[in-house]
Structure 1
Amino acid sequence: MPVLPTRLTPRTGTVLLSLSLTACAAGPTAPMRIAAGLTSQQLCTGVFTSAQPPAQVLSENVLGLPGMAWTEPLLSYDVDRDTRRVSARFAGGFARQSTWLDGYGCVLLPEGGAPPAFGALPPVAYESPWPALDAAAPVEPAPGPWRDLLDRAFTDTPAPPHHRTKAVLVVHRDRIVAERYAPGHGIDTAMPSWSVAKSISHALTGTAVAAGRVAPDGPTGLPMWGAPGDPRAAITVDMLLRQTSGLALTHRPTAFDPSTRMKYLEADPAAFAEATPLDVAPGTRWRYADGHFTLLSRVLRDRLGGHAEDVVRHARTTLFGPLGMARTTIEFDVTGTPLGAHAFSASARDYARLGLLYLHDGVAGGRRVLPAGWVDRARTATPGTGYGAGFYVNVADGDVPGWGVPWGLPHAPRDTFFARGFMGQYIVIVPSLDLVVVRLGPSQVEGDDVRFMDAVMRDAVAALGK
């Protein structure tokens, strides 16, 4: 059984419950194997995709996760820069490995498994629909309200928990008005998306709709749900995007919940999610869970050709290339399914380019990238929530049930919609102000640091004199 912390706190209690549930579901060694898998994958991405020091990645992106701090004395790792592989162990055993593959980012290997043989990728032409985002250096504003915004955003608390801001980028009327990076980061640094990936997956789904590969209101076509009379066959792609499938998927803020097991223990995460039974009728309940976008990712893989290289080729030619997102990487599992719930990496400017696409109703450089009406789907609230389709919307008051944080950003205009990722990753889009704001960094404040981001938006609105 795992070595457990001796001092109990409310968060620790949640961790212990999750450890117990995980152990019951996947055997008593599951928590140790999850810890090793999570560590190897986060270190691989941090070192080989983001070019950060391993010790810093471990401290900020691993041990900063809920439930992981107590594992520090028991974790060990090795970074092999020649093979671009990371090995992690828990308590001297339970070894897991992740490997970096050119064009695909880091892949977590099955226990004892070999790297997948993903296909070679052709070169792609990256366009530049917003030339102002191609500046050779960060755009540091002159003294005034925009510089004050950056100063406040990069002023951290003297004691834990820390915000750890790595990048802030403000684009107004398609021009950068404020931009700053933490030491070791810059305009080319690709930073983890966490759940901002769900918003990128919404865009990728839109390009598949435009290509005639996916019908948003049609069935998913997932094979496990194809048996006669299976009620899960009624689940649509739109329900996955809105997280209203009715499946008994769960998502808890710990490092050992069933969602984390799906991502860091299962060799085929989508198959794990696909086996989930219904809790309620499809379309009748909203429940946030990574499993929805894991299933969507399997749908996209299958509809785009069935292989990882098909997904990357499509993403580059229909989305990343037309937007100039040259610093964006999709991570995959060993089955070639994109990790569309949580594992993209991109530079702050690439995240801003995605925001500009949605600000301009799916059009970039005069070219329609997303189908007409696709952005409206993203920012139309799912009934009874502050969530649209892959994006949050700023129309609901109160807190997200069970989260204790607001649905939206109270100091931003009501027409705001935004991508929100774990540990404080944001792309905020405000059509009425012609504004996109990006904030990135591994915040260790509970609640995705939404109140901190709301303060950034308050400063941005004030800087525009609104």
Structure 2
Amino acid sequence: MIRYSFRCSLLALALAASAPVLAAAPPITSADDLGTAVSAQLACAGIFVANRTEADVLRDDVHALAPFTRTVALSVDRKAGTVTASAPGTPTRTALYRPAVGCTLTTGDVPLKALKTQAGRLKPLAPLPARPWPQGDTPVPALQAAAEAKLDRAALDAAVSAAFDEQNVGGYPDTRAIVVVQGGAIVAERYAPGFNQSTRMLGWSATKSIMGTLVGLLVDDGVLKLDEPAPVPEWKGAGDPRGAITLRQLLTMSSGLTFVESYKPGNDSIKMLFEAGDMGALAAALPLEHAPGTFWSYSSGTTNILSRIVFEATGGTLEGMTRFAQTRLFEPAGMRSALIEPDESGVLVGSSYGYATARDWARYGLLHLNHGEAGGKRLLSQQWLDFAVTPTPASPRPSYGAQLWLNRAEAGGEGRKVLQDVATDAFMAMGHNHQIVAVIPSQDAVIVRLGWTPEGQKFDWNKYLSQIAAALAPAAPAAK
């Protein structure tokens, strides 16, 4: 069992005292400031983690992201593993790439040498061995044949094509990957030009669901307790009302903590993701706005507090947290491409920066669909899985569980489901730019859509996913 620890790394402190310090990141006061910061982070990962060309990343990710990124230029130093983003009249920002953990936006809080040392002994997971799907990529003929016999092939192909052809106008790769699994077999798979089975893609806030799963592993281990005060050192002072916040309340976005999620300069979300070297500490320092457990509010800060709890519970180092994610979740689930990028403190940014291939995102969905089992082994308890998809009482709608979105209807009708025309038992990991991993237990199906829908445009989740779901084998009749 992993011992809970709040210790700091003496090695990191020693290096911080002796190594040169980066220039402190300037505060983000304008959209242009935000543009260089987000561009450095995303471009670094696009080039080094996803292994795409600098030109493609600049054109299709950076310049397409938002109006305030259209003048950004990139400088890539492959030897140093850095990407620097610049724009007229705006301070430059730099992100550092480290194999096995991806990219980190530098703020000056930690010296460059210490950042490199944090991940010094970590290695990426080995490629998938030649095994049957889903532990490998080899199709299983019997599963394929059984699945094909039940679905409407023409309708499924048309539905998948529509999600690409209606979105990818003028050659822009908006929808970049779709993988559909039913009956244990991949029944549809398509990629935009420049992307393939090996391309790691950003899940944005779909990463929250993975971080929730890492918390679940520690709860199953008995290391963390759902209904005890969350182990956050900033809340331990006498009389601090935040000391009553439980892990359950953090997981269900009902902690009551202040956090402004909207992405505008000066808001908590921007300060956390693009100015702070320790994102969880920034979020944990915020005051209570509501009594714990009484108010639901979507908060990336809450997830990064959870990330820091996992960090401390797995040894208090980037190496310990990454190895925990690799050995307890990614490798046994077959998700060998998966990684979550860390902040400068070494904590994985569970709110936002998870990368994996489309097939590995599907494998994550399959872990839930298959009742927490993968490769013939149980990874998660049924008790945890049931909790993760139970609507939080603090929310006025039954649409959120524990770091997962739910497709539950409100009492009395279908009116406010997240996906209006998809089965009510569906639940989803969802992220910015319209990333989605939808699990539909009643159809024994997982649907993954990854893409880069720019600001001001829309990907109609309900339209495209419901068309795909309708082409699959229908839901099995309920047992009498």
Bin for the TM-score computed over the shorter chain: 0.7 to 0.9
Tell me the SS of whatever aligns to 1:428: strand
Taking the TM superposition and a 5 Å limit, the aligned residue runs for 1:128-167 are 131-133=132-134, 134-135=136-137, 144-157=154-167, 164-167=174-177
Equivalent residue for 1:58? 58
Indicate whether 1:452 and 2:450 are aligned: no
Q: Who is 1:333 aligned against? A: 343
Query: How far has the Cα of 1:454 moved from its partner?
Result: 3.9
**Matching residue of 2:472:** 463
Secondary structure at the residue paired with 2:382? coil
Alignment of 1:264-413 (within 5 A): 264-383=274-393, 384-385=396-397, 386-397=399-410, 407-413=417-423
Asked whether the equivalents of residues 175 and 450 of structure 2 are also in contact (C-alpha less than 8 Å), the reply is yes
Partner SS, residue 228 of structure 1: coil
**Residue matched to 2:49:** 49
Q: Distance in 2 between matches of 1:123 and 1:455?
A: 34
Deviation at 1:186, TM superposition (A): 0.9
Q: CA deviation at 1:125?
A: 6.9
Task: Tell me, in whole angstroms, the C-alpha distance in 1 between the residues paired with 2:108 and 2:81.
Answer: 18
In structure 1, what is the equivalent of residue 103 of structure 2?
106
Contact 2:410/2:417, CA 8 A, preserved across alignment: yes
State the 1:447 CA deviation. Answer: 8.4
Counterpart amino acid of 2:184? D
In the other structure, the counterpart of 2:181 is 171
In 1, Cα distance between equivalents of 2:158 and 2:86: 44
Instruction: Tell me the amino acid that sits aligned with residue 196 of structure 2.
Output: G
Q: Is the alpha carbon distance of 1:218 and 1:423 closer, same or farther for their aligned partners in structure 2, counting shifts above 3 Å? A: same
Q: Distance in 2 between matches of 1:301 and 1:237?
A: 14
The answer as to whether partners of 1:156 and 1:164 remain within 8 angstroms in 2 is no
| Whole-Å separation in 1 of the counterparts to 2:222 and 2:456 | 41
Per-residue CA deviations over 1:356-412 (Å, capped at 9, x if unaligned) read 1101121113311012311111111113221111111111359xxxxxx96511111
1:341-362 CA-to-partner distances (Å, cap 9, x unmatched) read 0101000111111101101121
- Kindly state the Cα deviation for residue 91 of structure 1 after the two structures are TM-superposed: 2.4
1:158 shift after superposition: 7.6
Whole-angstrom distance in 1 between the partners of 2:130 and 2:420? 31
Instruction: Summarize deviations over 1:411-451 as a string: whole Å, max 9, x none.
Output: 111111111111111110011110011000011265873x3
| Cα separation, 2, equivalents of 1:407 and 1:162 | 30
Give the letter for the 2:468 counterpart. D
The 1:196–1:129 alpha-carbon spacing in structure 2 relative to 1, beyond 3 Å, is farther
Q: CA deviation at 1:213?
A: 2.2
Residues of 1 paired with 2:368 and 2:130: CA distance? 13
User: Equivalent residue of 2:175, what SS?
Assistant: coil
Give 1:16's aligned residue.
none
2: distance between equivalents of 1:371 and 1:77? Answer: 45
Residues 39-77 of structure 1: CA distance to partner in whole angstroms, max 9, x if unpaired? 111100111111223343234433444xx414423x332
Scaled by the length of structure 2, the TM-score of the pair is 0.82
8 A Cα contact 2:253 2:297, kept in partner: yes
Unaligned ranges ≥5, structure 1: 1-25, 399-404
In structure 2, C-alpha distance between the alignment counterparts of 1:237 and 1:30, rounded to whole Å: 35
CA contact 1:162–1:443 (8 Å) conserved in 2: no
Give the distance between the partners of 1:62 and 1:396, measured in 2 at CA: 37
In angstroms, what is the RMSD of aligned CA positions?
A: 2.9
Q: Which moved more, 1:51-60 or 1:261-270?
A: 51-60
**Range with bigger deviation, 213-222 or 156-165:** 156-165
Q: Identity over aligned residues, as a percent?
A: 34
Q: Distance in 1 between matches of 2:211 and 2:242?
A: 22
Q: Is the 8 A contact 2:126 2:336 kept in 1?
A: no
1:68-217 matches, within 5 Å, as: 68-73=66-71, 75-91=72-88, 93-111=90-108, 113-115=111-113, 116=115, 117-118=117-118, 119-121=120-122, 131-133=132-134, 134-135=136-137, 144-157=154-167, 164-217=174-227
Residue 128 of structure 1 contacts residue 323 of structure 1 at CA under 8 Å; is this kept in 2?
A: no
Moved more, 123-132 or 275-284: 123-132
Partner deviation per Cα, 1:323-353 (whole Å, 9 max, x = no partner): 1111111100110111000101000111111
- Residues 251, 259 of structure 1: 8 Å contact kept: yes
Count of aligned pairs between the two proteins: 429
**SS of 2:210 mapped into structure 1:** helix
Which of 225, 249, 267 pairs up with 1:239? 249
From the superposition, tell whether residues 159 and 318 of structure 1 become closer, same or farther in structure 2 (CA, over 3 Å).
closer
**What TM-score, normalized by structure 1, do the two folds share?**
0.85
1:218 CA displacement: 1.9
